[in-house]
Amino acid sequence: MSRGYPPILVCADLQVQYLGEECGADRAAARLLALLELWRAELWPVLHLKRIAQAAWFDPASNLSEWSAAFRPRPGEMVFEHPLPSAYSASRFAEYMASMRGVHCLVAGCSLDESILATVIEGFHRGHRFCVVGDAVTCVPSAAGNAEGHHAAMMRAIGKFAAVEQSSGLIAAAASDA
């Protein structure tokens, strides 16, 4: 963390659809919450991504696109809504990232196999540096397949385009910089 400015914490798709109304006992969610609390306590930059294009969201009675209560953005934290898997599909996000020369972003959250993967790959091709917090990301829930194996395969793919770190190392580095 002692690279000058702290990295921006990018929280991806922390919505009811993926996490439920309240933060559950999920390990990845708990690690993400610990990172988010640290970033907020230190007043470091936090950015939220919200995927807005899912068929279920066209039901006006549905609350699936709403933020999960434990992860709701706070005043001063930037929010980018993106219609396609990559956050770069939001022109505001693309412009923001283009204006931030040399910025380092930590990515954590939901939809590892959709929004996070697509954003990291597109960012790589645009020359933007991302680091994925491997133990603070989850895949979109699937009815079929081996969840752990799928997560591991996605992390191997992401490792081609971004660094991968664990939350414990980031928290320890922040503590030693304090």
CATH number listed for the domain at residues 8-177: 3.40.50.850
- Structure token pair of residue 155: 């992390």
Number of continuous H segments (helices) and E segments (strands) in the chain: 6, 6
Q: What tens digit of pLDDT does each residue of 77-132 get?
A: 999 999 999 999 999 999 999 998 778 899 999 888 889 999 999 999 999 999 99
The Cα angle at residue 40 between residues 87 and 137, in degrees rounded to 5: 45
Domain ranges in the chain?
Answer: 8-177
- Alpha-carbon gap, residue 171 to 175, rounded angstroms: 6
Measuring CA to CA, which residue among 20, 12, 16 is closest to residue 64?
16
Mean pLDDT (the chain, rounded):
83
Q: Can you tell me whether residue 150 is helix, strand or coil?
A: helix
Give the pLDDT mean for 128-138.
92
